[in-house]
């Protein structure tokens, strides 16, 4: 977004650090993204070509349509229950849900069964979501957090989250000579600006850095953990076991836990210094899909193998869908359909960096793209 930088949040953070000492990166991300007045997701609409970044549903309608069909088949495989909650975590502008609802309009019985549940903290984005799905006449409710969604007569649940986990606050731990020290955000005494500092060296628990990785760590290695993502994966897994259903998480990240500093800030489609202009730039980190999968397995739910976005969308027939759309398109439109397809599935674009993890209840049949996914 352009305009005068908003210094209020920066000043607030400096005051907080002056009073309490350095804060964790998670605290910094929380303030920068979710501060009630000045947080990035609270005060603006960051999406689309004019925003700071563009997400898959904003690139092409095919993305949401195919996810809608995935959800419809998942529902049918559960025996087409009379009621089903379609939950979306962090729905942005509501584009994915609108495209999904349009794609499943003609699936017999599904529209009558559906209730949409949006988990969204931003008031601005909630209005966008409401407008986006209005044409489809499906009842919808909004919730601050996943665990605030009511049990609702124990109807089964289908959960979708695209680029949701990457926006949740992470902590970073650096391997030091003896133990581990947390990377913190402090104020540089000379410049008066925010800067990264090292916390005291401490032993680190399994919950923060998996034991398997701790053994191989070299001095300077950084491990990122996202306690909020783990907590939500656990809550979703428990709910899927209770009521039946499936979850589809799509995000950029890695299939195995690994070392590395992946925290980044984006503003106007460009990388931006992380600690400058908090609240005016988006902050994200790679998602550790192994950690999310582990949390779901520990809660006794089931998971499929982690797929790349390219493989997942091809399995759902995105290439055929693009051909079909091109039949009614002029040359310019056909060109943009091809460009969008390449952007979503090509290895050098979003096709490989973005990953897909499907989780499901222990009494639910494996949803599409789980069986045969291995290998
Ligand atoms: N899924 C959308 C948007 C991704 S951006 C898309 O693909 O275009 C992240 C979304 O998560 C935004 O809607 C943001 O407001 C929301 N969000 C961020 N942190 C959240 C939190 N802690 N709880 C609920 N929603 C959150």
The tens digit of pLDDT for each residue in 277-297 reads 999 999 999 999 999 999 999
Q: How far from 35 is each of 10, 31, 100, 186, CA to CA, in Å?
A: 12, 5, 31, 18
Domain that holds residue 204: 9-38+171-224
Rg value, the chain, Cα: 21
Indicate which atom in ligand 1 lies nearest the CA of residue 41: 15
Overall domain count for the chain = 2
Residue 4 confidence class, pLDDT cut points 50, 70, 90:
low
Which of 204, 224, 244 corresponds to the end of one domain? 224
CATH assignment at residue 283? 3.40.50.150
Residue 190 is predicted with a pLDDT of 92
CA end-to-end distance (rounded Å), the chain: 43
CA of 165 to the centre of ligand 1 (A): 8
| 147 and 210 both lie in a single domain | no
3-state SS string for the chain: CCCCCCCHHHHHHHHHHHHHCCEEHHHHHHHHHHCCCCCHHHHCCCECCCCCECCHHHHCHHHHHHHHHHHHHHHHHCCCCCCEEEEEECCCCCHHHHHHHHHCCCCCCHHHHEEEEEECCCHHHHHHHHHHHHHHCCCEEEECCHHHCCCHHHCCEEEEEECCHHHCCCEEEEECCCCEEEEEEEECCCCCCEEEEEEEEECCCCCCCCHHHHCCCCCCCEEEECHHHHHHHHHHHHHHHHHCEEEEEEEEEECCCCCCCCCEEEECCEEECCCCCCCCCEEECCEEHHHHHHHHHHCCCEECCCEEHHHHHHHCCHHHHHHHHHHCCCHHHHHHHHHHHHHHHCHHHHHHHEEEEEEECCCCCCCCCCCCCCC
pTM exceeds 0.85: yes
| 122 and 207 both lie in a single domain | no
Cβ distance 204 to 173 under 8 Å? yes
Q: Is residue 43 part of a domain?
A: no
- Whether the CB of 252 sits within 6 Å of ligand 1: no
| 135 and 194 both lie in a single domain | no
Q: Is residue 316 part of a domain?
A: yes
Cβ distance 345 to 318 under 8 Å? yes
| 73 and 189 both lie in a single domain | no
| 231 and 327 both lie in a single domain | yes
CA of 47 to the centre of ligand 1 (A): 11
- Whether the CB of 309 sits within 6 Å of ligand 1: no
Cα-Cα-Cα-Cα dihedral sign, residues 240, 244, 250, 254: positive
Task: Please write the tens of the pLDDT for every residue from 173-185.
Answer: 999 988 899 999 9
**CA atoms of 221 and 214, how far apart (whole Å):** 10
| 200 and 232 both lie in a single domain | no
Chain center to CA of 330: 34
| 61 and 132 both lie in a single domain | yes
CA of 18 to the centre of ligand 1 (A): 30
| 117 and 247 both lie in a single domain | yes
| 179 and 151 both lie in a single domain | no
- Whether the CB of 119 sits within 6 Å of ligand 1: yes
The larger pLDDT score, comparing residue 52 to residue 4, is at 52
Task: Please write the tens of the pLDDT for every residue from 23-47.
Answer: 999 999 999 999 988 999 887 777 7
Residue 173 is predicted with a pLDDT of 96
Q: Is residue 263 part of a domain?
A: no
pLDDT exceeds 80 at position 225: yes
Q: Is residue 324 part of a domain?
A: yes
Which of 179, 206, 224 corresponds to the end of one domain? 224
**CA atoms of 192 and 190, how far apart (whole Å):** 6
Residue 48 is predicted with a pLDDT of 59
Q: Is residue 196 part of a domain?
A: yes
CA of 344 to the centre of ligand 1 (A): 20
Among residues 278, 291, 292, the alpha carbon closest in space to that of 25 is found at 278
- Whether the CB of 182 sits within 6 Å of ligand 1: no
Q: Is residue 366 part of a domain?
A: no
Residue 83 is predicted with a pLDDT of 97
Q: Is residue 267 part of a domain?
A: no
| 242 and 337 both lie in a single domain | yes
- Whether the CB of 30 sits within 6 Å of ligand 1: no
- Whether the CB of 253 sits within 6 Å of ligand 1: no
Task: Please write the tens of the pLDDT for every residue from 347-375.
Answer: 999 999 999 999 999 999 999 999 744 43
Task: Please write the tens of the pLDDT for every residue from 201-212.
Answer: 888 887 788 888
Residue 3 is predicted with a pLDDT of 53
**CA atoms of 122 and 37, how far apart (whole Å):** 10
| 28 and 61 both lie in a single domain | no
Q: Is residue 311 part of a domain?
A: yes
- Whether the CB of 121 sits within 6 Å of ligand 1: yes
| 114 and 151 both lie in a single domain | yes
């Amino acid at each position: 977004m352009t305009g005068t930088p908003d210094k209020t949040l920066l000043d607030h953070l400096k005051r907080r650090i002056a009073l309490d000492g350095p804060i964790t990166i998670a605290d910094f991300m929380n303030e920068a993204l979710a501060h009630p007045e000045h947080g990035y997701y609270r005060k603006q609409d960051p999406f689309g070509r004019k925003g700071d970044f563009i997400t898959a549903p904003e690139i092409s309608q095919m993305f949401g349509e195919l996810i809608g069909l995935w959800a419809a088949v998942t529902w049918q495989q559960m025996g087409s229950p009379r009621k089903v909650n379609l939950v979306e975590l962090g729905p942005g502008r509501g584009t994915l849900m609108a495209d999904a609802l349009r794609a499943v309009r003609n699936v017999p019985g599904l529209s009558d069964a559906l209730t949409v549940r949006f988990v969204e903290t931003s008031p601005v984005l909630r209005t966008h979501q409401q407008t986006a799905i209005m044409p489809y006449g499906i009842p919808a409710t909004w919730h601050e957090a996943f665990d605030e969604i009511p049990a609702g007569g124990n109807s089964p649940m289908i959960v979708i989250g695209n680029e949701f986990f990457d926006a949740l606050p992470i902590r970073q731990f650096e391997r030091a000579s003896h133990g581990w020290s947390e990377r913190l955000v402090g104020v540089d005494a000379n410049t008066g600006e925010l800067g990264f500092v090292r916390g005291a060296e401490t032993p680190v628990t399994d919950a923060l850095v998996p034991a398997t990785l701790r053994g191989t760590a070299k001095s300077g290695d950084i491990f990122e953990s996202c306690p909020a993502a783990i907590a939500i994966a656990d809550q979703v897994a428990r709910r899927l076991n209770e009521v039946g259903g499936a979850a589809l998480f799509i995000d950029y990240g890695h299939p195995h836990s690994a070392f590395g500093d992946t925290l980044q800030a984006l503003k106007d489609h460009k990388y931006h210094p992380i600690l400058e202009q908090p609240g005016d730039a988006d902050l994200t980190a790679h998602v550790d899909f192994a950690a999310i999968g582990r949390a779901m397995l520990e809660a006794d739910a089931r998971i499929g193998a982690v797929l790349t976005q390219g493989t997942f969308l091809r399995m759902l027939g995105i290439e055929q869908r693009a051909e079909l759309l091109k039949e009614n398109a002029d040359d310019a439109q056909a060109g943009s359909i091809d460009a969008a397809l390449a952007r979503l599935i090509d290895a050098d674009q979003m096709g490989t960096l973005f990953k897909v993890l499907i989780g499901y209840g222990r009494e639910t049949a494996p949803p599409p793209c789980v069986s045969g996914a291995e290998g």
